[in-house]
Amino acid sequence: MRALVVAIAVALLASAAAARPALVIDYETNRVLLAQDAEQPWYPASLAKLMTIYLAFEALTRAEIAAEDKLVVSEHAAAQGGTRLGLAKGASLTVLDAIRATVLRSANDAAVALAEGMAPSEAAFAERMTERARRLGMTATVFRNASGLPDVQQWTTAADMAVLARALIRDFADRYELFATPTMTWQGRHLHNLNGLLTNFPGADGLKTGFTCGAGFNIVASAQVEGRRVIAVLLGATSLDARRGEVTRLLQAGFTGKIPKEYAAAPARPDGAKLNGQTAWAVADGAAAAVRIKPVFPSCDAEATRTTPSATAAAAASSLHGWALTVGNAHQERDARALLDTARSVLGGDLRGGRPLVVHRLVGALPPYRALVVGFDETKAIATCLKLRRLDVHCIVLTPEQLAAPQALWN
């Protein structure tokens, strides 16, 4: 029987592989304006942070925590990978700064510190996230962590994410404006909101973007035009540009009523109900749900594991060939890896043939870990760096001679 279930799931996946789950609803009426595979299980990536923030807002409202409360960063929080604020074990930050970093910068270390400030452990907090999801009507979502970092047992649907977005706006109208905050200041640094839609779509005022290798590029977006609010969810886009372009089309369709031909208009869906008569996969059937999620970039995580660990300049020298890019320096190796993850994500999971490399090199007062992408020819190095800069990612092109110089600053 189990084999039959898996076989059916694989067949269903194959038929839907080309489609990207999407949903647009009218906020006031909850009417579904268009839908495509909105009940398809999908990895949430950083969209999971929306539930972390929902619970934080709820705790603030109930005075269980206060905005100025200090959170002490645990070893577990400090060890989070991916996008980070750069928190060290034993450091502290306020609840409000943790919320800001989670919303604006999608910082995994801040999200976990926030979760641990509200529960005995991140695992316990994730159980609370799932339980709260059920009570909101999110019938097909399971959370396993506060950040959305990869976990094959963590998934959601476009329909459930629309429920969560609507609940955030409805239940915390006085706090929702945080999602539209353009910048935050942290230890003297001015950090910009990573949600580029805020400046690219008139009326856009939140909510959250996300990326992992398995999920691809996800977004939950809200916009308000002439007093009418529309919420759009898109999961699994294959690049940053594709996500921005498609969610723009979805929002425009929501406001104009002109539905693109590849989408179907859908009837209203009450919170927690089935969409278009489709059967939501049972949360308990983890094997079936996991089988139905096909990673968007299946080789991306494997590529990340090949990133060279910290090494002395002499040991790394033999790996430094061709033209290269430096995407930043860091005081800790994991932060340098996070810089490489950011570069990879904005390039759609594809480093254009370059190889990510973390090199440890002590030069002057610069942070010792260098995040490099090596192995380009001149044309590809320049084109890739220009694209990264257009997407607000620090990048400097290094010639083969600069790369090989033993005292190169690479800053």
Measured distance CA(22)–CA(41) in Å, rounded: 12
In a domain, 389, yes or no: yes
pLDDT at 49: 98
Do 314 and 378 sit in the same domain of this protein?
Answer: yes
How confident is the model at residue 363, as a pLDDT? 58
**Where are any strands of DSSP class E within 97-251?**
183-186, 189-192, 204-212, 216-225, 228-237
Residue 396's pLDDT band, with cuts at 50, 70 and 90, is confident
* Domain end point (choices 264, 291, 318): 291
> Does one domain contain both 284 and 345?
no
Answer yes or no: do 239 and 336 share one domain: no
| 223 located within any domain | yes
Between CA 341 and CA 399 the distance in angstroms is: 23
pLDDT reading at 66 higher than 90: yes
CATH value at residue 109: 3.40.710.10
Residue 410 located in a structural domain: no
Residue 366 has what pLDDT?
61
Domain limit, last residue, from 274, 291, 308: 291
The question of whether 49 is a catalytic residue gets the answer yes
Tell whether 155 and 190 lie within a shared domain: yes
Provide the pLDDT for residue 299: 54
The pair phi, psi for residue 92, each rounded to 5°, is -135, 155
Same domain, 140 and 100: yes
Q: What are phi and psi of 183, to 5 degrees?
A: -145, 165
* 331-379 pLDDT per residue, tens: 777 778 888 888 888 787 778 788 888 887 765 556 778 888 988 888 8
Specify the range with the lowest mean pLDDT, choosing from 1-15, 86-100, 246-260, 281-295: 1-15
Regarding whether 282 and 233 lie in a shared domain, the answer is: yes
In this structure, the answer to whether residues 213 and 312 fall within a common structural domain is: no
End position of a domain, from candidates 291, 319, 352: 291
Task: State the pLDDT confidence band at 266, using cuts at 50, 70 and 90.
Answer: low
For 245, half-sphere exposure in the C-beta direction (CA atoms, 13 angstrom radius) is 6
Q: In this predicted structure, what is the pLDDT of residue 132?
A: 97
In a domain, 269, yes or no: yes
Contact between residue 361 and residue 403 where contact means Cβ atoms under 8 Å apart: no
Distance separating alpha carbons of residues 56 and 99, to the nearest angstrom: 8
Q: What pLDDT shows up at residue 317?
A: 42
Mean pLDDT (whole number) for 57-72: 97
Task: Taking residues 109-132, report their average pLDDT.
Answer: 97
CA distance 242 to 258: 20
Instruction: Mark whether 345 is an active-site residue.
Output: no
**pLDDT tier for residue 307 given thresholds of 50, 70 and 90:** very low
- Give the pLDDT score at 267: 47
Q: Is 411 inside a domain boundary?
A: no
User: What's the rounded Cα separation, in Å, for the pair 37 and 157?
Assistant: 9
Query: From CA 138, how far away is CA 62, in angstroms rounded?
Result: 22
Most confident of 124-128, 280-284, 353-357, 399-403: 124-128
Instruction: Assess whether 191 and 318 both reside in one domain.
Output: no
Residue 362 is predicted with a pLDDT of 64
User: What's the first-to-final CA gap in the chain, in angstroms?
Assistant: 58
- The domain tally of the chain equals 2
Per the structure, the complete domain to which residue 318 belongs is given by: 300-404
Inside any domain, residue 54: yes
Reported confidence tier of residue 265, pLDDT bands at 50, 70, 90: low
Shared domain check, 314 and 284: no
409 inside domain? no
pLDDT at position 18 over 90: no
Catalytic residue among 49, 74, 239, 345: 49
pLDDT digits (tens, 9 = 90+) for 176-190: 999 999 999 988 888
Please confirm, yes or no, whether 46 is among the known catalytic residues. Answer: yes
In this structure, is residue 213 part of a structural domain?
A: yes
Give the pLDDT confidence score for residue 190 in this predicted structure: 83
Return the biggest CA–CA distance within the chain: 65
pLDDT (mean) for 376-387: 88
User: Do residue 374 and residue 262 come from a single domain?
Assistant: no
Is the domain of 39 the same as that of 144?
yes
The answer to whether 72 and 92 have CB atoms below 8 angstroms apart is: yes
What are 3's two structure tokens?
A: 């084999």
Confidence of residue 32 (pLDDT cuts 50, 70, 90): very high
Tell how far CA 171 is from the center of its chain: 23
User: Which pLDDT belongs to residue 364?
Assistant: 54
CATH of residue 321's domain is 3.30.70.1070
Share above pLDDT 70 across residues of the chain, in percent, rounded to a whole number = 80
Whether the CB-CB separation of 149 and 77 falls below 8 Å is answered with: no
Phi-psi region of 227 (alpha: psi -120 to 50; beta: other; left: phi over 0): left
How many H helices and E strands in the chain? 15, 13
Res 45: pLDDT: 95
The burial class, CB within 10 Å (0-12 / 13-18 / 19+), for 160 is buried
Q: Which of 106, 147, 239, 345 is catalytic?
A: 106
* The pLDDT of residue 27: 97
Q: Report pTM.
A: 0.73
Pair 184, 304 in one domain: no
- Mean pLDDT across the chain: 82
